[in-house]
Amino acid sequence: MGAGNKFRRVAANFGDNSPVNSNCAKDGLKLYPLLIQKQKNFEKKSVLSHVEAIAPASSANLGAGFDVFGVALDGLFDKVSVDVIKGGKDIKISVEGKSSELIPTEPNKNTAGIVAKALLKHSNKNCGLAINIEKGIRAGSGLGSSAASAAAAAIAINEALQLNLPSRELIKFAALGEVAAAGVPHADNVSPAILGFFTLIASHNPFDVVQLPMPKNVKFVIVTPEIILETSLARSVLPKKVNLSDAVSNIAHASAFVTGIMTNNIALMGKSMNDSLAEPYRANLIPGLAEVKKNAMEAGAEGIAISGSGPSILALVDSSKKVEDKVMKAMKEGFEKYGVKSEAIIAKPGCGGKVVRREEM
């Protein structure tokens, strides 16, 4: 297959016949395009009574791709359950799981709540929604926690209200939820959380997103220090204007990163994970960052960057070299040198969100 055939722009509805990666089949569910479960011969209802959906953790930016690049990560996810209340009009939210005490339940302050409000208005349907969020991704970790809740909510509500929204519209609704966490809508996390694997935002107006499979030996070592870094704070330290030379540097590195993906060159991807626009201004928010990065590279990582707005740090490794454990140990030691405890995972690019349960009225 030629490099030009490896990507696809996402414009199709959730019911089309586009190919999906067979490795995404989980839990005995039959996967349909963009990982949304559909039942054959299902007589369309105006609404369903109960729908549950999951969406994965994700890492944004990957160095130079600020607010553009994102990748879904396997192993961590949020689950959102939606009950449709006929005749109601309110949106009620409950939260459980990791760092649930940090998550507001007021719909206007909750990522899933904002998505629900927007989709309910769009639907023109006379019903309320009871939403339960099970957090599997720690809030304020830089691993797309807010995006996972927003994406899972969008997928579940789209199915519950039988809206059949095309994927790019669903991503835009999910991006609205990021206002609760970041203060602005952005799609770099919700895009991979919905579509899976690597995504890049090709255009904001009109909205366009491209999905790419990553080389098969790509793995990520992700170390999360025991500090909370709110996305809104991490965005507030960024400058309103940047130097032309810094912009050129990021364009070059972002271009090289995508070239590495398209040519299966993990070393080039790693060399390209350099950021001149955001990381220099966020470095002081993460104690031990320089030490962690140095240790990771010396231990065999191909590249390393802050995951999203932080504080998690993501190292790219080539799994054929079998250095994941060594890199993980070195990164944790970097934080320990500064008196910061941390936890770590090893992840691969993973599938996007999907419906895992549905019940008719």
**Active site residue ranges:** 178, 231
Give the distance, in angstroms, between the CA of residue 335 and the centroid of all CA atoms in the same chain: 25
- Nearest Cα to Cα of residue 192 among 22, 313, 57, 36: 57
- What is d(CA 331, CA 288) in angstroms, rounded to the nearest whole number? 10
Tokens representing 200? 């890049």
Cα–Cα distance, 351 to 361 (Å, whole number): 29
- For 82, the token pair is 């939606």
The one-letter code for the residue type at 267 is A
User: For tokens 């032309």, what's the residue?
Assistant: 244
Residue 172 φ then ψ, to 5° = -65, -40
Q: Residue 90 CB: number of other CB atoms within 10 A?
A: 10
Whether 71 contacts 192, CB under 8 Å? yes
Integer CA distances (angstroms), 85 to 42, 112, 158, 226, in order: 21, 17, 15, 39
Q: Which amino acid is at 137?
A: I
Task: Kindly report the length of the chain.
Answer: 361
Q: Which long-range contacts (CB under 8 A, 24 or more apart) does 118-126 make?
A: 118/173, 118/176, 119/154, 119/157, 119/158, 119/161, 119/163, 119/173, 120/91, 120/157, 120/161, 122/163, 122/173, 123/161, 123/163, 125/46, 125/47, 125/161, 126/86, 126/87, 126/89
- Tell me if 342 sits within 8 A of 224, measured CB to CB: yes
